Chain A
Amino acid sequence: DSGVTQTPKHLITATGQRVTLRCSPRSGDLSVYWYQQSLDQGLQFLIQYYNGEERAKGNILERFSAQQFPDLHSELNLSSLELGDSALYFCASSDNDIQYFGAGTRLSVL
């Protein structure tokens, strides 16, 4: 168990809808990262937050947004969903170089 908790484990929704993925980092970790894993693109970095502030951004779509709250948990919001957004979304947290990954949320857009 990495200590990083992601909810929900599975999410099934329809095109055009909006969903929110939640991540609780390891106790004390200030950094939270979001990654998308798909068969064709592999593991892709989306965005990083550090102590509530956006620290780095990857190829995150404009339809996607994230935030980190004062209690350090983070949410990834995906809107106007398309079939191609179906993927595994991972959250990771760290206090140094080592990133600890959660078990992921599997999003299926039908």
Chain B
Amino acid sequence: QQQVKQSPQSLIVQKGGISIINCAYENTAFDYFPWYQQFPGKGPALLIAIRPDVSEKKEGRFTISFNKSAKQFSLHIMDSQPGDSATYFCAASRGNTGKLIFGQGTTLQVKP
């Protein structure tokens, strides 16, 4: 049973545009929601993370929006750059177990 659903599977954005990736979760016990960025041949790297006590978190050009009642969260990349081209994964975990449940990933291509 997939507990974190991610969309879209792939995304093409023009340089300077806004990239939006969405995730939905099922388990209301999840209390930590990170986004990871993965480049080809590399391991995933933490980009930004949020806990459900806030509705938004911004770090530079990256923003997480969180809707607890809808059990959804999204990643917004403002002023997207070709260097942002990568695969993005949302994830969720519960308590202190640290076990991350990942979405299926979104391949982002930013065209110059």
Contact = CB atoms under 8 A, between A and B. Distances in A.
Interface of A: 2, 4, 31, 33, 35, 42-45, 48, 55-56, 58, 90, 92, 94, 97-104
Contacts of B97: 48, 55-56
A45 B21 CA distance: 22
Interface residues of B, number: 21
Contacts, number: 58
A98 B44 contact: no
A102 B99 contact: no
B61 interface: no
Given A56-B98, A97-B32, A99-B46, A42 B41 contact: no
Contact of A42 (B34, B49, B99, B105): B105
